[in-house]
Structure 1
């Protein structure tokens, strides 16, 4: 990405697959399936990817999801 001139932002991956992207509740996935009390459910890797995609970056430093 850097070679192509695309800005790269580094995101702290801590808890990204345990935090619900809908309500921000932290839950551990059962096997590979993530299920939250708010009704959101999907594969835990997808939860991690969603949280990394939308993680805030403040002053060049990522904030935990």
Structure 2
């Protein structure tokens, strides 16, 4: 709510994204894999910390009519 309030003051539109499975989906090939510990590894060769993977997927999630 606070972020939405501050964004509105600056004229920035807030879009809500469903965070489900964002740290399990590879942002490179979209294959779903379970992260081991804090490291996410995909068979396509992509490797990152699972929180970064989740943030990348949220950042690029398609939003249609305000729903992801």
Q: TM-score, normalised by structure 2?
A: 0.88
Can you give the 5+ residue segments of structure 1 that lack an aligned partner in the other structure?
none
Report the 3-state secondary structure (helix = DSSP H, G, I; strand = E; otherwise coil) of the residue aligned with 1:45: helix
* Cα RMSD, aligned residues only: 0.6
Which structure has the bigger radius of gyration? 2
Matches of residues 20-31 of structure 1 in structure 2 within 5 Å? Answer: 20-31=26-37
Q: 2-side partners of 1:18 and 1:43: how far apart?
A: 11
Work out which of the residue numbers 54, 58, 68 in structure 2 matches 1:52: 58
Runs of 4+ in 1 over 6 A off after TM superposition: none
Report how many aligned residue pairs link the two structures: 62
Deviations 1:26-52 (A, max 9, x none): 001000000000000010000000000
Task: Look up the match of 1:19.
Answer: 25
Structure richer in strand, relative to its length: 1
Task: Look up the match of 2:16.
Answer: 10
Q: 1-side partners of 2:25 and 2:18: how far apart?
A: 13
